[in-house]
Amino acid sequence: MNLLQKLFPNIDDWSELGRACIDTLLMLGGSLLLTVLIGLPLGVLLYLTSKGQLRPMPKLYAITSLLVNILRSVPFIILMIVLMPVTYFLVGTKLGIRGAIPPLVIGAAPFFARLVETALREVQQGVIEASQAMGASLWQIVRHVLLPEARGGIFAGITVTAIALVGYTAMGGAIGSGGLGDLAYRYGYLSYKSDYMLVTVALLIVLVQLLQMIGDRIVARYSRR
Amino acid sequence: MIRFVDVHKSYRVDGRDIPALQPFSLDIADGEVFGIIGLSGAGKSTLIRLINLLERPSGGDIFINDIEMTVLAEPALRAQRRKIGMIFQHFNLLASQTVADNVAFPLRLAGERDAAALRARVDELLARVGLSAHADKYPSQLSGGQKQRVGIARALANRPSILLCDEATSALDPQTTASVLELLAEINRELKLTIVLITHEMDVVRRVCDRVAVLDAGVIVERGAVADVFLHPQHATTRRFVNEALPEEAASELTPFAQVPGRILRMSFRGDTTLTPALGRVARETGIDFNILAGRIDRIKDLPYGQLTLAMQGEHVEAALAALRGAGIEIEELHR
């Protein structure tokens, strides 16, 4: 304890750091889950309705694509502020983990949808043709051909999205969502306690490393080329 | 029976209709192996896809076993497609699934849920194509020939009455091609399956097809029994394909026969006449002399045939020719 005190003189409550860690993980887990649940169908929709694919619908594609691009071009910190009324409407608060999740999902889902669309484009056209020749319906093709064949790319997309979400949650700390970003900002930046900054950054690096390792494992497991 | 009636197909590109297939009618009988040969871009790929409506015709009717395909609604069309197997040049297997799951895939699509029934049918199919030992491998672990065998097993899973082969051997080496063609011939014999195949190799047609249509720039320029088309090609495109399959013959036609004494004849033997010593007997009886310039003896599917280019001299050439024709040998005069 003495050593810790010497190295990090300003950190008097380590349990606060622990709580912040858990908050960050909860925000990450919750928003990642919802991002995948929303982004995956959105990515499939983008893919199916794009030109030359199974259900080309130029207008629907153009609208969806524009919406996705708009959400992707707003910097996350701005998006979070702009969305505050929506957040309040959805979860009844603008603060804390619950308040952080709607903007995180709305920021990350369009990004993930694009990654899904790209992964689906990698599926060989011939395989889709073969399943059509076997009498597969559109839903069967999506469920049994496109998603399984693209799952390596989709898992890679989930990894990239998860890591982007770690960055977003840290940003969220600046406007009251809690977590490691909040600590780094409040103690580290506003109160000049640089040891807080150091520890939170180190924890975030470890988290990102872990996510990348797990993601790579899963991608390797499911890529059969 | 597959029946095309006045079918044509064009693609709309930048607001203009580009014709891919000129209007044609064609009947393919039950149980036959029908080849469609053409260069790339001739329209053969479009033609074979009209059968299971992966391509929709721009006009005309397509009947399969008396069912008019073009008017079917989506679910009925899917049900019909299950009865038409298809294999592809690049195999088009699911990379994420094992061999067994790839073969089970069309069964699952058709609604089969019983694991034991699936397993039994998959085992049976893999045994037929000689891949029983590879059931749990992934496609990336197989050779090209093995992948095509998986493709064949998958195509046969729903007991189709028709098998479409889209350049099925074009990505394979000659030996593998031979074994895959043998398997197709065996399937045709044993399951009485109608096979329609498209290819750019006359040799594929010669080995397995009963009848052939030659496609040139969207037009069927020649069609008939393979032996007729192969031994007596009429259209320039057909001759080019046949000559590719007969390199020696092609070379010999370029030889200046004018320098060879005697009359230059090409004789075609088919079936039993290939196996009788007619030429030797007639030469002995009429006292003519002959000199073989080029020749080949082979099989067209199960029919043995021979084709010889030879120079003939002597007093009684006409009598000899008459005797040879009498013995069932077809003779064309190339140069006098």
Q: Which two tokens stand for residue B299?
A: 């099989």
pLDDT at B280: 87
Give backbone dihedrals phi and psi of B133, rounded to 5 degrees, phi first. -75, -10
Q: Which two tokens stand for residue B139?
A: 């496609």
| C-alpha dist (Å) from residue A81 to A77, A163, A171, A183 | 7, 21, 11, 19
Chain-chain contact of B88 with A126 (C-beta, under 8 angstroms): yes
Chain-chain contact of A130 with B138 (C-beta, under 8 angstroms): no
Mean pLDDT in residue range A82-104:
89
Chain-chain contact of B94 with A135 (C-beta, under 8 angstroms): no
User: Could you tell me how far CA B178 lies from the centroid of its own chain?
Assistant: 13
CB–CB of B229/B214 below 8 Å? yes
Could you tell me which residues of chain B have a Cβ less than 8 Å from any Cβ in chain A?
52, 54, 74, 78-82, 84, 86, 88, 90, 92-97, 105-106, 108-110, 138-140, 154, 158, 164
CB contacts of B138 in chain A (<8 Å) are 224
Residue-wise pLDDT for B292-323, tens only, equals 888 888 888 888 888 888 889 888 889 999 99
pLDDT at B248: 53
Chain-chain contact of B81 with A137 (C-beta, under 8 angstroms): no
How far off is chain A from B100, nearest CA to CA, in Å?
15
How far off is chain B from A158, nearest CA to CA, in Å?
18
Q: How confident is the model at residue A183 (pLDDT cuts 50, 70, 90)?
A: confident
How far off is chain B from A132, nearest CA to CA, in Å?
8
B154 CB-near residues (< 8 Å, 6+ apart): A134, B85, B93, B102, B103, B105, B106, B125
Chain-chain contact of B109 with A149 (C-beta, under 8 angstroms): no
| C-alpha dist (Å) from residue B236 to B34, B218, B221, B233, B251 | 21, 15, 9, 8, 16
Q: Bridge-partner residues for B310, per DSSP?
A: B265, B292
Q: How far apart are the first and last CA of chain A?
A: 52
Q: Is the pLDDT of residue A224 over 80?
A: no
CB contacts of A134 in chain B (<8 Å) are 81-82, 86, 105-106, 109, 154, 158
pLDDT at B262: 84
B284 CB-near residues (< 8 Å, 6+ apart): none
Amino acid at position B87, single letter? I
pLDDT at B256: 60
ipTM above 0.90, yes or no: no
B-chain residue closest to A133, CA distance: B81
CA B232, B236, B238, B242 torsion-angle sign: positive
- Per-residue exposure over B124-141, b if at least 16 CB sit within 10 Å of its own CB, e if not: ebbebbebeebbeebbee
pLDDT at B255: 58
Least CB-CB distance to A225: which of B92, B140, B158?
B140
CB contacts of B154 in chain A (<8 Å) are 134
A112 CB-near residues (< 8 Å, 6+ apart): A35, A36, A39, A40, A43, A157, A158, A161
3-state SS record for B274-326 = HHCCHHHHHHHHHCCEEEEEEEEEEEECCEEEEEEEEEEECCCHHHHHHHHHH
The DSSP code sequence of B75-129 is: HHHHHHHTTEEEEETT----TTS-HHHHHHHHHHHTT---HHHHHHHHHHHHHHT
Chain-chain contact of B81 with A133 (C-beta, under 8 angstroms): yes
Residue-wise pLDDT for B32-50, tens only, equals 999 999 998 899 999 999 9
